[in-house]
Amino acid sequence: MIEALLFAAAGPLSAHDLARRLPDGADVGRGLAALKARYAGRGVELECVADRWRFRTATDLAGLMTEEREDPRRLSKAALETLAIIAYHQPVTRAEIEQIRGVSLSRGTLDVLLEMNFVRLRGRRRTPGRPVTYGTTDGFLEHFALASLGDLPGAAEMRAAGLLDIGVPAGFEVPDPSGARDGEDLLDAIDEDSPEFQMDFVGEGEER
C-alpha cells in the first residue's frame, strides 16, 4: 500500500501523510525501511528528503534522462519593432531607426538581430559621417517563410489582420522594401572594430 501511494502521489509524502491513508496500526516506518531495501541498487530508488519520501531515478542513471533540444530564442518588443523597421525601410541607419521608433536604440538590440542572422550590415549612407546601413538577410526570409521582401504584408493586409489601426493618418503608406534605394555604398564586409563602426552606436538615453 505504501508503494502504491508513493508511486501515485504528485509529490513527496511524509510518514504522517502515509499513516493517514493506511489502516489503523500499520507500521509505516517498517514498511518504508522494507521498500528502501527492496529498491536499493535498482533503476528506481526510494529516498527521503526533508522528512518526505519519494521514488526517483537512480543518480547514476541521470544521464539517460538528459534531453538536448534547441530552445528557440524569443525577440523582445524592442527587437521586433527594430526588425520591422529594418525590413520595411532598408537600407536604414541606426539614427533613422530611432527617429521612426521615437526612442533611443541600444546596441544590444541590433546585436541580437545580427547574431540571429535576421539583419546584416548593408553599406554606408552617402551622408556626413557615412553611417552604417542595415538590411534583412536570407535567414530573415526563411524564418518568416517569405519568398522575397515583396511578400511582406502591405497596409491592406495588415488592416485586415487587425494589425493596423483603422484610425491611421490620411496618406499613411507602408513602405515597399523591395523598391530601389539611392545614396548608399554597398559593402562586402565591414570591420566592427573600426572607429567609424563604433561611432554608429554612440548615443544617449535608455531604450524602452
Structure confidence at residue 159 (pLDDT) = 63
Last residue of some domain: 18, 36, 63? 63
Shared-domain flag, residues 127 and 188:
yes
Element (H, E) at 80: helix 77-89
Number of domains forming the structure of the chain: 2
Shared-domain flag, residues 84 and 139:
yes
Structure confidence at residue 3 (pLDDT) = 92
CATH number for the domain that contains residue 154: 1.10.10.10
Structure confidence at residue 19 (pLDDT) = 93
Shared-domain flag, residues 112 and 40:
no
**pLDDT beneath 50, residues of the chain:** 168-169, 172, 179-180, 189-192, 195-197, 199, 201-208
Identify the domain containing residue 38 by its residue range.
Answer: 2-63
Shared-domain flag, residues 83 and 8:
no
Shared-domain flag, residues 82 and 182:
yes
Distance of CA 124 to the CA centre of its chain: 30
To the question of pTM greater than 0.95 for the whole model, the response is: no
Measure the CA–CA gap between 87 and 135, rounded to whole angstroms: 7
Shared-domain flag, residues 20 and 119:
no
- Report if residue 156 sits inside a domain: yes
- Report if residue 206 sits inside a domain: no
Last residue of some domain: 63, 89, 113? 63
Structure confidence at residue 30 (pLDDT) = 93
Measure the CA–CA gap between 36 and 48, rounded to whole angstroms: 10
Q: Is 16 exposed, middle or buried (0-12, 13-18, 19+ CB in 10 A)?
A: exposed
- Report if residue 153 sits inside a domain: yes
201, 129, 101, 189: CA torsion to nearest 10? -60
Q: Which residues contact 165 (CB under 8 A, 6 or more apart)?
A: none
Structure confidence at residue 207 (pLDDT) = 40
Shared-domain flag, residues 87 and 165:
yes
Question: Can you give the length of the chain in residues?
Answer: 208
Structure confidence at residue 206 (pLDDT) = 39
Residue with cell 534531453: 67
